[in-house]
Amino acid sequence: MRETTPFWLPGLHAARRPYLLARNRIAAAVRGWFAAQDFVEVETATVQVSPGNETHLHAFATDLIGPGGERRPLYLRTSPEFACKKLLAAGETRIFDFARVFRNRERGALHHPEFTMLEWYRTDAPYEALMDDCAALLREAAKAAGTTQFTFRGNSIDPFDEPERVTVAEAFMRRAGIDLLATVRGGEGDRDALAAAATSASVSIAADDTWGDIFSRILAERVDPHLGLGRATILSEYPLPLAALARAKPGSDQVAERFELYACGVELGNAFGELTDVGEQRARFAAAMAEKERLHGERYPVDEDFLAALAEMPQACGIALGFDRLVMLATGAQRIDQVIWTPVVDIED
């Protein structure tokens, strides 16, 4: 179904309605699970100083107009992460947010310009606790949807089975025969070493590919097709060059406390043992924005208030999970707009 066809046409709505009612049941079950775990639900602001400082995410821009007509550029958030971490700095210890988030230049079966991101955080807990949370929420979603199987495009999982846990290095060796960590030293990736390994594994690369680009090519071609099949997969210990907002694994200069959750071949969640080193986070933001400007000709400001809060934030772990995707898998829907009550209008051809 194309979103240019009005979603409110009775026949189309009737076809989508079972998915939407299941969405409501799953949301209620998730809220109940978090309440039983002593989490507090929060509602963070949508309009932010910075939408997030990730290289490949594109935000919606707007202006704050004061009473005198003065303007300040602001953005619709791509994630509630900055705001949630400010609440951790304020003293909250277990929080979750059903956050409406916005990402431009994203549209497809699994992508929508506006969608719901379920984020939750635990202070003073190892990031492995989030792995257990993920397994529990898959079960809760399945029970609420009245199913024993998640499906998408011919792939399926048993949501009641414990997720497979595999490190990125193990997955690269198993699926591509590449010793990934041999190309990481002191937190940096050796581009030439990874390029040689990719070529030996018959993965095509471009002359101007960075270490991160080559990593992504190998991941997409050799690793991703095997993730989340039969049962969910937790892919952990991402290399430090791709740590984003995650801290390094204690005692390691090669991998970070970061994992991603996959089910039915679909990426569902991205989790971090949260970085609280302000200087390191500022440097990562700078590097990401320099790369964004190189690739896309734009950059976003740094939220200095977030960095100030980060200095006061306790040790914590957190995860962002695509709630609409979770509903899709639990209901068997094939497009994300089938599980969104009022889809955003599409650009007509």
What local confidence, expressed as pLDDT, does residue 187 receive?
87
What local confidence, expressed as pLDDT, does residue 22 receive?
98
Q: Rounded mean pLDDT of 231-242? A: 96
Q: Residue 246 pLDDT > 80, yes or no?
A: yes
Distance, CA of 195 to CA of 206 (rounded, Å): 9
Distance, CA of 8 to CA of 325 (rounded, Å): 22
Contacts of 136 (CB under 8 A, 6+ apart): 33
pLDDT digit string, tens, across residues 70-112: 999 999 999 999 999 999 999 999 999 999 999 999 899 999 9
CA atoms within 13 A on the CB side of 39: 22
CB 52 within 8 A of CB 82: yes
Q: What is residue 57's three-state secondary structure?
A: coil
Is 299 exposed, middle or buried (CB count within 10 Å of its CB: 0-12, 13-18, 19+)?
middle
pLDDT digit string, tens, across residues 31-74: 999 999 999 999 999 999 999 999 999 999 999 999 999 999 99
pLDDT digit string, tens, across residues 202-218: 999 999 999 999 999 99
Share above pLDDT 70 across residues of the chain, in percent, rounded to a whole number: 98
Q: Residue 1 pLDDT > 60, yes or no?
A: no
Q: Residue 249 pLDDT > 60, yes or no?
A: yes
CB 136 within 8 A of CB 321: no
DSSP structural state of residue 250? T
Q: What is residue 147's three-state secondary structure?
A: coil
Count how many residues are written for the chain: 349
Distance, CA of 254 to CA of 305 (rounded, Å): 29
Distance, CA of 333 to CA of 330 (rounded, Å): 8
Is 123 exposed, middle or buried (CB count within 10 Å of its CB: 0-12, 13-18, 19+)?
middle
- Helices 10-36 and 323-331 pack at an angle, to 10 degrees, of 110
What local confidence, expressed as pLDDT, does residue 3 receive?
46
Angle, CA of 34, 232 and 103, to the nearest 5°: 70
Beta strands in 163-248 (DSSP E): 164-167, 184-185, 188-189, 233-236
Phi and psi, residue 346, nearest 5°:
-90, 165
Architecture per CATH, domain 10-163+231-339, reads as: 2-Layer Sandwich (3.30)
Distance, CA of 228 to CA of 266 (rounded, Å): 7
Rounded to two decimals, what is the model's pTM? Answer: 0.95
What local confidence, expressed as pLDDT, does residue 106 receive?
87
Beta bridge partners of 133: none
Q: What is residue 169's three-state secondary structure?
A: helix
pLDDT digit string, tens, across residues 104-163: 998 999 999 999 999 999 999 999 999 999 999 999 999 999 999 999 999 999 999 999
Q: Residue 348 pLDDT > 90, yes or no?
A: no
